[in-house]
């Protein structure tokens, strides 16, 4: 029995295929055929192509953006994926070789994947944020995934980013997602091409003035988000994942910014956050945390 795990994003799908606890294949599917938001049906068709190619009985785990009803295997809200009102079980039902299907929110999956991979009994309260097209977040409290009353815990991309300017209701995703950072640069320069994360840091290293300004604002927003989460959740550890997490310069800039703003001056005294720098790390599962998360769930729910 093979276990096929998929992490669906706004620009593509990452996947890992496991057999007997060993990775036998991994890859990435780009949505090169679509310039607009992709539909859930198109996503499921791409997943089905991979699964059929395995020529084996298979269990499927899907990590997906948006609010997810994992019990009833439904996607409840749109995100980078549109037209989500699809019966996923019915979609796959004609394929008798598919023996099990689970889905989970991508932020939750990534948190579970990283927490499971680390297997550190000292980490009971844990947060993982994923920097991608937008920003995702998953929360583990007292060794349990926290979903909230309406399954939207961790949907921090929908939080307000500016709390002091009346009428400004833009979401945190706009200020923290590297995909949206590329979009900002594209709009300002009136260039149709949207920069990738690698291209952004290539320009940063060349001291492009606009990129340097945008990257500083972006890093500051992520640092503030981490500190806000710390004051709300008081975590043992927070990890940062997504493709950009493999860039050493990114993490250096982030740690430097956290160091600058971690202590808060109030009138004539300071509120110190002395341990935060020791509780922020790069994800060990990097850009595949979501796949590891649904792999964990497939095996936990046997």
Of 104-113, 124-133, 265-274, minimum mean pLDDT range? 265-274
Query: Quick check: is 115 in a domain?
Result: no
Per-residue pLDDT tens digits for 203-228: 999 999 999 999 999 999 999 999 99
Q: Is residue 20's pLDDT more than 90?
A: yes
3-state secondary structure the chain: CEEEEEEECCCEEEEEEEECCEEEEEEEEECCCCCCCEEHHHHHHHHHHHHHHCCCCEEEEEEECCCEECCCCEECCCCCEECCCCCHHHHHCCCCCEEEEEEEEHHHHHHHHHHHHHCCCCCCCEEEEEECCCEEEEEEECCEECCCCCCCCCCHHHCECCCCCCCCCCECHHHHCHHHHHHHHHHHHCCCCCCCHHHHHHHHHCCCHHHHHHHHHHHHHHHHHHHHHHHHHCCCEEEEECHHHHCHHHHHHHHHHHHHHCCEEECCEEECCCCHHHHEEECCCHHHHHHHHHHHHHHHCC
- How many domains does one find in the chain? 2
Among the ranges given (11-15, 16-20, 136-140), the one the predictor scored with the smallest mean pLDDT? 11-15
Averaged pLDDT for residues 101-118: 97
- Note whether residue 63 is domain-resident: yes
Q: Are residues 268 and 293 in the same domain?
A: no
The CATH number of whichever domain residue 63 belongs to comes to 3.30.420.40
């Amino acid at each position: 029995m093979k276990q096929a795990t998929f992490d669906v994003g706004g620009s593509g799908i990452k996947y890992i295929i496991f057999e007997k606890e060993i990775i036998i294949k991994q890859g990435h599917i780009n949505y090169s055929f679509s310039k607009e938001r992709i539909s859930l049906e198109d996503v499921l068709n791409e997943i089905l192509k991979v699964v059929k190619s395995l020529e084996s009985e298979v269990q499927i785990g899907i990590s997906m953006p948006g609010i997810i009803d994992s019990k009833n295997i439904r996607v409840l809200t749109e995100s980078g994926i549109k037209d989500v009102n699809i019966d996923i079980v019915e979609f796959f039902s004609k394929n008798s070789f598919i023996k099990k299907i689970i889905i989970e929110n991508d932020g939750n999956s990534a948190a579970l994947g990283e927490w499971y991979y680390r297997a550190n009994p000292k980490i009971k309260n844990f947060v993982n944020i994923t920097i991608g097209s937008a920003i995702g977040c998953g929360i583990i409290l007292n060794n349990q995934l926290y979903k909230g009353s309406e399954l939207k815990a961790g949907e921090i991309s929908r939080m307000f980013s500016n709390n002091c300017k009346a009428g400004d209701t833009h979401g945190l995703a706009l200020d923290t997602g590297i995909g949206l950072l590329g979009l900002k640069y594209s709009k300002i320069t009136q260039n149709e091409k949207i920069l990738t994360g690698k291209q952004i840091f290539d320009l940063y290293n060349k001291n492009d003035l606009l990129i340097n300004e945008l990257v500083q604002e972006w890093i500051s927003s992520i640092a503030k988000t981490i500190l806000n989460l710390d004051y709300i959740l008081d975590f043992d550890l927070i990890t940062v994942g997504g493709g950009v997490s493999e860039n050493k310069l990114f993490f250096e800039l982030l740690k430097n910014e956290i160091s600058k703003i971690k202590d808060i001056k109030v009138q004539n005294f300071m509120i110190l956050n002395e341990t935060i720098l020791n509780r922020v790390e790069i994800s060990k599962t990097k850009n595949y945390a979501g796949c590891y998360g649904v792999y964990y769930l497939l095996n936990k729910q046997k």
